Structure 1
Amino acid sequence: MHDTGGQGWRITMDTSRPMLIAFYLKEVAGLDGAGTPSLSHAAPKVRQADHTHLTAEVGGVHALKTEWEAWWEQLIRAHPKQAPELVPPDFKAFGNSPALQRVLQAHFGAALGWARDRLDEYSELEAVREASGAASVLGDMVEDRLLEVGRSSRDFSLTIIELPLKEPRAWYLEPDKMIMSHKLLSQPEVFRSYVQPVVDILA
């Protein structure tokens, strides 16, 4: 986790194990365009599987999409906490989402392994950033804004959730979160083009 702050403000960058698991399930189920924001595909690519038979008795793929979107929204709101609990093999917390519950039961092992690999990669990425001082751009953006407006910062916190996305971009989720491709910080100008406007609003 990268944590940058000053008087009254704080910006954190981190990834999320439960969101990685949810993201894998979205990809494996082929739920293109599901969720808000509508994210690009995963990198590395996740092979899709046909879930027609698995979900046919519980509302089909349409129900799966609706249930997944509700779960995704809950994960974003709760971050950095996990909600609801992922407890195999029954996933009882998903009793009201039977299509999603079945997909979790079918793919949880693979999702967990994929998420673990992505977390390992993120740890390596953080070490490289730490060594290069890449995350210092966050403080620079706040300072630039405060110099521009000629005052001290308003109190704010911004949480940036990094995910392994194919497309190098970011999405602002009001009031205080962003979802971002884990590769974006390595492109400082593009990174700034997404984050500076949010910092300008908050600071």
Structure 2
Amino acid sequence: MHHTGGPGWRITMDTSGPMLLALYIRDVTGLGGAGNPSLCHVSPLIRPADHQQLTAHVGGTEALRAQWEVWWTALLASHPAPQPELSPPSFPAFSAMPALQRVLQAHFGAALSWAREQQSQYSLLSARRDTLGSPKILAELVQNREMELGRNARDFTLTILEMPLCEPRAWFIEPNRLIMSQHLLEDEPTFLSFVQPVVELLV
């Protein structure tokens, strides 16, 4: 996790265990294009499994897609608090979403292992960045914008959620969130092309 801030403003860069779990479930069930924003696949790619028999009697793939999107929307809205609670093996919080509930019951162990591995990798990445001073670029973006405007930044928060995504890009979620490929910061020109306009808007 990285925190950058000044008088009245704060930028946080972090990952999210519940969102990693959700992305694993999305990709293992082959729900490409699901969610808003529609994120690319995770990297490395997760091999999808056939879930027709598992979900056939509870609405099939369309129900699963709709229920996953409800879950994803709730995760985005509630971050950093996980919503709803994940309680294996029965996942009672998902009783109204039976297709998703069955998929969670089938894949939760693998999803949890994968998410923990990604969080471990992210911790190593964050430590390496701290050593190199890479997150300073965020403060520099704010300071440069303040100089352009001739005033201090307005009060704002920006949360950047970094995920192991296969495309080097970011997705802006109004009013103050970005979902970003966790390796985008290493590609400074591309990073700036996505993040600078958002920072300028908020400052």
- Same fold per TM (> 0.5)? yes
Partner of 2:92: 92
> Which amino acid in 2 is paired with 1:111?
A
Partner of 1:142: 142
Q: Matches of 1:193 and 1:142 in 2, distance apart?
A: 15
Partner of 2:202: 202
Q: Matches of 1:189 and 1:91 in 2, distance apart?
A: 43
Partner of 2:59: 59
> Which amino acid in 1 is paired with 2:76?
I
Whether 1:27 and 2:19 are equivalent positions in the alignment is: no
Partner of 2:132: 132
- Tell me, which stretches of 5 or more residues in structure 2 are unaligned? none
Summarize deviations over 1:2-33 as a string: whole Å, max 9, x none.
00000000000000000000000000000010
Aligned length: 203
Whether 1:40 and 2:46 are equivalent positions in the alignment is: no
What's the secondary structure of 2:135's corresponding residue? helix
Q: Matches of 1:6 and 1:81 in 2, distance apart?
A: 25
What's the secondary structure of 1:64's corresponding residue? helix
Partner of 1:104: 104
Measure how far apart 1:44 and its partner are: 1.1
Q: What percent of counterpart residues are identical?
A: 57
Q: Matches of 1:163 and 1:172 in 2, distance apart?
A: 14
> Which amino acid in 2 is paired with 1:168?
P
Measure how far apart 1:194 and its partner are: 0.5
Q: Matches of 1:44 and 1:15 in 2, distance apart?
A: 17
Measure how far apart 1:189 and its partner are: 1.2
Partner of 1:12: 12
Q: Matches of 1:152 and 1:124 in 2, distance apart?
A: 34
TM-score by length of 1: 0.99
TM-score by length of 2: 0.99
Q: Matches of 2:104 and 2:29 in 1, distance apart?
A: 11
Moved beyond 6 Å, runs of 4+ = none
> Which amino acid in 2 is paired with 1:176?
N
Q: Matches of 2:188 and 2:139 in 1, distance apart?
A: 13
Q: CA RMSD in A?
A: 0.5
Q: Matches of 1:23 and 1:85 in 2, distance apart?
A: 16
